[in-house]
């Protein structure tokens, strides 16, 4: 696979001098922005990704998935540079657009909900994030399966947010039961030595420690 630096040079050569409405130019700009972000240059990546989104909206608005993907890249970059509030506003728009177009059970809608919840959590809106995760998890379980990566990430994020900010014992009990259930699922599907099994065991230990901080 090409390194971010090689991708950056290749992408620059692919879009420089091309007309703004050229599809290859837009794609190459997106690759360039992604490569900058992947190599630790998020501040430089943001204007490139913003320009890619602007071009996608201006000339390729019929490609809804392409526009939403470009928006997601911008939001992820904003989150990386500490602009979590701006990121979660964009992620909210992406989630609502996905849900309106494809319904709550679609895999892309579920992924958008997870991304939105992650941005909410990063910006300190933990209660909103937990509410969204509670609503999304049953859809992910039914549509994707309980061992799907996205489902596991929803469970992990839910438990992590509860560990950080729970204000009631009941909320921690809920997270503890959920994590213990998924430890068994991960062990059965992936094996006891899989990194996911270790991750959920560590998360379970942390949630149990949080639970012990509340009076019985």
pLDDT tens readout for residues 89-116: 999 999 999 999 999 999 999 999 999 9
Mean pLDDT of 159-166: 93
Q: What is the percentage of the chain residues whose pLDDT exceeds 70?
A: 85
In angstroms, the first-to-last Cα distance of the chain is 53
Q: Report pLDDT digits (tens) over 136-152.
A: 999 999 999 999 999 99
Residue with tokens 């939403």: 68
What does the mean pLDDT of the chain come to? 85
Q: How confident is the model at residue 22 (pLDDT cuts 50, 70, 90)?
A: low
What does the alpha-carbon distance between residue 166 and residue 172 come to, in Å, rounded to a whole number? 7
Mean pLDDT of 4-15: 45
Residue 192: partners with Cβ closer than 8 Å, 6 or more residues away: none
**pTM score:** 0.81
What does the alpha-carbon distance between residue 173 and residue 191 come to, in Å, rounded to a whole number? 26
Collapsed DSSP state (helix, strand, coil) of residue 42: helix
In this predicted structure, the answer to whether residue 71 has a pLDDT above a threshold of 70 is: yes
The pLDDT score that the predictor gives to residue 6 is: 42
Name the DSSP class of 3: -
The pLDDT score that the predictor gives to residue 21 is: 55
Q: Report pLDDT digits (tens) over 112-129.
A: 999 999 999 988 999 999
Q: Report pLDDT digits (tens) over 185-196.
A: 999 999 988 999
């Amino acid at each position: 696979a090409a390194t971010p630096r090689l991708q950056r040079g290749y992408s620059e050569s692919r879009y420089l001098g091309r007309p703004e409405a050229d599809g290859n130019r837009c794609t190459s700009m997106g690759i360039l922005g992604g490569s900058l972000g992947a190599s630790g240059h998020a501040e430089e990546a943001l204007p490139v990704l913003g320009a890619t989104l602007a071009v996608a909206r201006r000339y390729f608005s019929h490609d809804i998935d392409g526009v939403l993907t470009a928006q997601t890249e911008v939001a992820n970059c904003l989150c990386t540079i500490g602009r979590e509030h701006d990121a979660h506003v964009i992620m909210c728009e992406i989630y609502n657009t996905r849900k309106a177009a494809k319904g709550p059970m679609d895999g892309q809608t579920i992924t958008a909900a997870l991304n939105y919840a992650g941005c909410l959590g990063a910006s300190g809106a933990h209660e909103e994030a937990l509410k969204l995760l509670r609503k999304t998890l049953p859809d992910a379980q039914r549509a994707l399966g309980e061992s799907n990566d996205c489902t596991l990430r929803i469970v992990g994020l839910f438990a992590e947010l509860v560990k950080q900010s729970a204000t009631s014992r009941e909320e921690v009990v809920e997270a503890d039961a959920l994590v213990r259930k998924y430890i068994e699922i991960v062990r059965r599907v992936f094996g006891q030595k899989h990194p996911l099994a270790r991750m959920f065991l560590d998360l379970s230990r942390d949630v149990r420690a949080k639970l012990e901080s509340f009076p019985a």
